Amino acid sequence: MIAYHSLILLVLLHRSVCLEFTIGALLSDDEVISSFKRMVSSVRDSFYDDTVTFKAAGEALALNALKATNQVCNLFNSSEGRIFALIISHPNGAPGSAPLSVSFTCAFYHLPVIGVSARHSIFSDKYSHGSFLRTVPPFSNEASIWVDLIKAFGWREVCVIHSDDHDAKKVLSYLESASQRGIDFKITRQVAINTDEEDAAQMKDFISLLQPVRNEQTRVILLFLRRKFAEYVFLAARKLGMLEAEWAWIVTEQALDASNIPNGVIGVRLLQVTELDHVADAVRIATQSILHLVRTDYDAMKHLHSVKACSDNPSEIQSKSKLPGRSPYMWKDYATKLFRDMLAMNFTDGRTGHLEFNEYGDRIKPIYDIVNAQITNQDINNLSAQKSFEFERPTLVSVGSYGVHQPTPMEWISDEPHPSLLSINLSKLIWPGNSIVKRQQLVCIQRANDGKCQKTEKRLVHAAPISFKKKTHLKVVTIESVPFVQTHPKLSDKCNESDDPLVFKTEIECTHTDPTTGIKKHYCCYGYCIDLLRLLANRTGLELTSTPFTYDLHLVGDGQVGDVDENETHKWTGIIGEILSGTADLAVAPVSITPERAARVEFTKPFKYLGITILVKRERARSNLGSFLQPFESSLWVLVALSVHVVAFVLYLLDHFSPFGRTNSDLDMSVDGSGSYSTLRQFDNEKQLNDKNTLTLTHLRQQQQQKEDEEGMNLSSAVYFAWAVLLNSGIGEGTPHSFSARVLGMVWAGFAMIIVASYTANLAAFLVLDRPEASISGIDDVRLRNPQKDFLFATIRGSPVEMYFKRQVEFATMYRVMETNNYDSVEEAIQAIKSGTLKAFIWDSARLNYEVSIDCELITAGEVFGRNSYGLVMKKNNPWLYELSQAVLNFHERGIMETLDTKWIHIKSNNCERTESSPATLGLTNMAGVFIMIGMGLAAGAILTFVEVLCAKRRCEQKKKHELSTATMQQWRDTVQKRQNDRYFLNATDKQMQLCHNTEISFDDVIHHSVAIDKNNLNSSAIYSTNMKDKQSNNPKPNFSMNMKEKYSVIEDDLLSTKGRINRKRKASDYSCDGNDDSDDGDNDALDSSLSFALHASQNNLKQIGEKYCVTTYRCDQVNNYENNDKVELEKEQEQVGQEGYEEEEEEEEEEEFSELIHRSGTVTTHNNMNNINHYQKSNIISAV
């Protein structure tokens, strides 16, 4: 019976196995340890039929690291290999070496450790503390709260006083990264305090550390120090007056425990809970993680053993499985799984709030209190008169919280989102110096669903102090540099100033102190930068600040922008040196922004963008006497001149050999087309002439046939024609007659048009290209890239331009050459350019553009390169930096900077003819060659005229000799002919006398018969003579030569002599026939023949003279045209001859016309002869004319 019951008991015991796990603890005191043991023992759970219980093993943590390590080993020994977690804590303010030692030891054995008070960020290093997690966040996590406070208060500058440990590095890293993420604030100064030598810290050391902070303009201090060092800082700050109004302090949670914490300090601390609350959360995390692993792998957790002693090798700790086929359970693997389960725990109902961890084992989403140190036993109205730290320690009053989502406060009107986890009541805040800050600002009174403000209103609300203290009176330094700053001595009591900043080109009083002698001189400064300074100081309507600054302006002592001395001090000189030393607060001057300068001082946004360019002396156009010949090359000019004469010669040949190009062709074509003159044809057709008349006609034909053919265009006319066509001048000479020559003339005209048009266009292009240009093309010019000895170029020694060439590898050769030629000042270099000593000066484009605009002899070459800019200079962390930068940007947007450029840099000089804006014009120097060519033409014409006169004189002498011989021969012929005519006249007279005795024929019939016979002869002779006279009167140019006039006189004398004999015969006939109406037919025929021969002789001689004159002066085709026209008119007149009934007044008129006609035709008659011709005969003769 007893055996049966024993078996039943064994079965029952087998079915209800108790799984026990040990939780170790090293806590701050025994009370917490007792509470810990009760919490662990109270945790119990069951799995299947087995019970899971926990055993607590703990003791107070030793402050010594070695002892703390021994305590861990003792826990290993007492747990018999079943310890699975360790909870550690240490008293507040105690050294952190003991927890570090415990965490490092447990990490070696892979035992999970839960810290409940360890706040140092070193525990987040999983390389050394791979199994550590904590229920409290590290102190460095407060940096995120500080950033949100800075953003909420609108601070832009802060100063950080910190320790030199790992936590401080984490804080600084977070603050710097926050500013890079777009949160607009800057750490102006960092003060690191050595916290390793606590006993060696002295008050005077902290005063020396805080003195630079006191001298800065930043008024917000972030303090990250332990309690003891925070107390030293507070004492030093009190002595330096850094705990008064206008200051703001934010301290870490450790510094809140300082005994001398000043009034008005803001601090951040974890939600006020006890150590026991954190221990309770730690127990919960440990037990729940173990239970979760038991449920996951029951058999492993049932047989698994942990570290039994510190002598164990953690990599070899293993447990055998009771289940067949399973490998041993390695402690290292299951310890890692257990730690991962702990990191994954997430409790929203923890004793200390929401419990959640990151991958580093740090608690996230904790809740903080934002507290303010205030003196609670004083009346709030008397806070301004109460001195903080006078008798008692202020109380930490909660003014906000962090960690719980809050609505956006009314004071927040920015488009940027308000920190959602931050909640602070500004109305409860007291600032250092017992001050309360209120400010008029916009307040949002209506928000949209998305949180953006829709309606604002300006109200007086509580606010935070400004993060920096701005100076309202600045010491401004500048440097004399045309056109940015120019000076002249102050002659009167006041410079030409103006209160209106928009009135440009006014003056400001400035001073200059000689750095050697210390003598101070007063000047009046004006220029680009002076107008800019006046605009910045008065704001010109900018709503950036309500208080514009005032200033004192002075010129830099050494006259330099700034460079580093090469001596041992390596101090900056010039403007940069004054800014760094505090002699000047602001520099308004043409200071180039360079990396070297930007590393030491602060620059605003650029107020002037520019680059580097090259200044050279303007190259004037070199005009020579042959400038007008430049459009064509010499070879082309030679070809054109040759073409003119070749074409002229070919024209002459074509017109000479062409059958349609001769003058005789026109002369041979008579009116009726028979090839002979009308007069000769009329004589040939006249059948009443006797044999003697036929002899005379034969003589006239022989003279006509002996005329030589004359060409239509001679060589000189052809040359003149070719030049006239080429030069587009009027053609006064004859043109080609033949069709072939005219075709060539048209082709030549086309060639001339193309040549002249090309010359004109090319000349215009040469005028454009002939403008004054620079001697070099730019920075890539071969004379700069490959320097020559006779081409010097330079810049200013020690300037940013020189540094630019020094840094650029591609300009290394140029830098080596120009290094020895550089000048000390811009003025010296520009003067060297004007004098020709320096060929090219490389400098800032703004200054060189100004020099070019005022001096016509200078010009910039090439494009701008090496872009840079000018900026205002201030010391780093100057509170005016942001505001002035915004002002400069606003000036650019409003076009004010362009106005300054127009007023001071791009000046238009009225004394210069700007080739860029006006077309190129020709002067006497350009076209002097043309005038010289005209003079040469005049001289050549005079010389040729003299030669022609000599040649003509010689030719006239030869011609006179020839004419004399010809006239002698002709006189002999005329004498012979005259004798023949006399015999003929005598025979005719005798015949007429016989007619007079014939009573059947009247004298009127004789006259009528004679006139009828010679009517046509008389018409031809008179018309030809009249036409010749008209031509001479209409065209005064041609004149009879002297030999022609002599011949005419001889013929006229012969005619008068002949007519005299005829008249005498006539009178004798009249006398003998007086009273006898019937005249002999023979006498009438003789009279008729006399008159006919006289008229015929006159006509023949005049015809010869006219033909001679026509051939030499007029074109023969014109003569034929005249004859054709005269014949048509003659036929019309003959039709009207038969008309009778002329009035008596016309008879006298006809007699006068007849007399004049007979005289003009060379026929001399007496009054008696005229009276013997009746009215009808006169009318016929006049009609014939």
Interatomic CA distance for residues 1090 and 1172, integer angstroms:
14
Residue 485 has pLDDT above 90, yes or no: yes
- When pLDDT is averaged across residues 988-1009 and rounded to a whole number, the result is 52
- Tens-place pLDDT, residues 87-100: 998 766 566 678 88
Whether residue 321 is contained in a domain is answered as yes
C-alpha 40: how far from chain center: 82
Q: Starting at the edge strand that comes first in sequence, how are the strands of the sheet with 858-870 ordered?
A: 793-794, 840-844, 608-617, 858-870
- Min mean pLDDT across 30-34, 624-628, 959-963, 1026-1030 is at 1026-1030
pLDDT at 322: 72
Q: Which of 427-436, 697-706, 1027-1036 has the highest mean pLDDT?
A: 427-436
H or E element, residue 188: strand 186-193
Q: For residue 938, what are the contacts with CB-CB under 8 A and spacing of at least 6?
A: none
Contact 110, 314 (CB under 8 A): yes
Q: Are 81 and 313 in contact (CB under 8 A)?
A: no
- Express as a percent the part of the chain with pLDDT over 70: 67
Instruction: Note whether 332 and 186 are same-domain residues.
Output: no
- Give the pLDDT of residue 1052: 54
Q: Over 70: is that where the pLDDT of 885 sits?
A: yes
Angstrom CA distances, 782 to 68, 786, 787, 808, stand at 81, 6, 8, 18
Report the binding-site residues for L-glutamate: 590, 592, 597, 844
Hey, which of 336-345, 738-747, 984-993, 1044-1053 has the most confident mean pLDDT? 336-345
pLDDT tens across 969-987, in order? 888 888 888 877 777 766 6
Q: Cα–Cα distance between 565 and 719 in angstroms, integer?
A: 83
- Residue 669: CB partners within 8 Å, gap ≥ 6? 675, 1117, 1120
- Three-state DSSP state, 281: helix
Largest Cα separation within the chain, whole Å, is 229
Which of 355, 383, 413 is at the close of a domain? 355
Beta bridge pairs of residue 803: none
122 and 58, same domain (yes or no):
yes
Whether 163 and 266 share a structural domain:
yes
Quick one: 808 and 735 in the same domain? no
Q: Is residue 931 in a domain?
A: no
Q: Please identify, among 293, 325, 355, the residue that sits at the C-terminal boundary of a domain.
A: 355
Considering the domain architecture, whether residues 32 and 68 belong to the same structural domain is answered as yes
What pLDDT is attached to residue 1115? 40
- Look at the block and give the residue holding tokens 């140029």: 814
The more confidently predicted of residues 514 and 729 is 514
Under 8 Å between Cβ of 301 and 293: yes
| 1015/1104 same-domain check | yes
At 925, the pLDDT band (50, 70, 90 cuts) reads low
What is the token pair recorded at 597?
């300068």
Q: For residue 660, tell me if it sits in a domain.
A: no
- Per-residue pLDDT band at 265 (split at 50, 70, 90): very high
Q: Take residue 1021 and report the two structure tokens written for it.
A: 């002779």
Does residue 5 register a pLDDT over 70? no
Is the pLDDT confidence value at 660 over 90? Answer: no
Q: Which of 158-172, 799-813, 1062-1076 has the lowest mean pLDDT?
A: 1062-1076
The whole-chain average pLDDT of the chain stands at: 75
> Considering the domain boundaries, does residue 663 fall inside one?
no
Q: CA separation (Å) from 519 to 479, 522, 583?
A: 17, 10, 17
Please say whether the beta carbons of 370 and 402 come within 8 A.
Answer: yes
Lowest-confidence pick of 29-43, 82-96, 245-259, 294-308: 82-96
**Domain ranges, residue 221:** 139-270+367-462
| Distance in angstroms (rounded) separating the CA atoms of residues 459 and 443 | 6
The closest alpha carbon to 505, from 872, 897, 895, 904, belongs to 904
- What is d(CA 1017, CA 1014) in angstroms, rounded to the nearest whole number? 5
The residues facing 351 across adjacent strands are none
Both 781 and 856 in one domain: the answer is yes
How many domains, the chain? 6
Closest of 65, 67, 98, 103 to residue 85, by C-alpha:
103
Euclidean distance between CA atoms 339 and 344, whole angstroms: 9
Written as six digits, the tokens of 972 are 């002999």
Q: Is the pLDDT of residue 6 over 60?
A: no
Task: Considering only residues 259 and 455, tell me which one the structure prediction assigns the higher pLDDT.
Answer: 259
User: Is 941 part of a structural domain of the chain?
Assistant: no
Number of neighbours of residue 274 by Cβ within 10 angstroms? 11
Residues 388 and 311 in one domain: no
| Beta-carbon count within 10 A of 866 CB | 18
Band the pLDDT of 1132: cuts 50, 70, 90.
low
Residue 961 maps to a domain: no
Which pLDDT does position 926 carry in this prediction? 56
pLDDT at residue 1028 in the model: 45
Q: Which residue in this structure is represented by tokens 């703001």? A: 248
Residue 757 has what pLDDT?
85
Please give the structure tokens belonging to residue 17: 């196995």
Answer for the pair 711, 717: CB distance below 8 angstroms, yes or no: no
pLDDT at 283 > cutoff 90: yes
Confidence (pLDDT) at 947: 81
Digit-coded pLDDT (tens) for 905-920? 887 655 565 544 445 5
In the prediction, which pLDDT does 910 show? Answer: 55
Q: Which of 265, 261, 268, 260 is nearest to 247 (CA)?
A: 265
**Residue 801, SS3 per DSSP:** helix
Residues 371 and 261 in one domain: yes
CATH number of the domain residue 250 falls in:
3.40.50.2300
Q: Which helix (H) or strand (E) holds 738?
A: none
Tens of pLDDT, residue by residue over 243-254, are 988 899 999 998
Question: In this structure, are strands 508-513 and 520-526 parallel, antiparallel, or unpaired?
Answer: antiparallel
**Stronger pLDDT, 1076 or 611, i.e. the higher one:** 611
Across residues 115-133, what is the average pLDDT? 89
pLDDT 10s digits, 38-65: 999 998 888 777 788 899 998 988 888 8
3-state DSSP assignment of residue 210: helix
Does residue 451 surpass a pLDDT of 80?
no
For the residues 278-300, what does the mean pLDDT come to? 90
> If you compute the radius of gyration of the chain from its CA atoms, what whole number of angstroms results?
66
Q: Within a domain: residue 445?
A: yes
Contact of 699 with 981, CB cutoff 8 Å: no
Q: Who's near 360: CB < 8 A, 6+ residues apart?
A: 124, 126
Same domain, 845 and 879: no
User: For residue 938, what pLDDT is reported?
Assistant: 61
The CATH number assigned to the domain holding 567 equals 3.40.190.10
Answer whether residue 692 shows pLDDT above 70: no
Q: How confident is the model at residue 966 (pLDDT cuts 50, 70, 90)?
A: confident
**Residue 529 banded pLDDT, cuts 50, 70, 90:** very high
- Exposed, middle or buried: residue 1107 (CB in 10 Å: 0-12, 13-18, 19+)? buried
Of the given ranges (306-315, 345-354, 884-893, 1092-1101), which has the lowest mean pLDDT?
A: 1092-1101
Residues 440 and 496 grouped into a single domain: no
Q: Kindly indicate the confidence band of residue 387, based on its pLDDT and cuts at 50, 70 and 90.
A: very low
pLDDT of residue 1164: 40
pLDDT at 543 over 50: no
Q: How far apart are CA 756 and CA 751, in angstroms?
A: 9
pLDDT digits (tens, 9 = 90+) for 555-598: 999 888 888 876 666 788 999 999 988 889 999 999 999 888 98
User: CA dihedral in degrees (641, 642, 645, 648; nearest 10)?
Assistant: -100
Bridge partners, 453 (sequence order) = 447
Does residue 1156 lie in a domain region?
yes
Position 662 confidence tier, pLDDT thresholds 50, 70, 90? low
Burial 707-720, CB ≥16 within 10 A → b, else e? eeeebbbeeebbbb
Q: Are residues 852 and 889 located together in one domain of the fold?
A: no
**What confidence tier does 686 reach under pLDDT thresholds 50, 70, 90?**
very low
Domain end marker among 886, 918, 950: 918
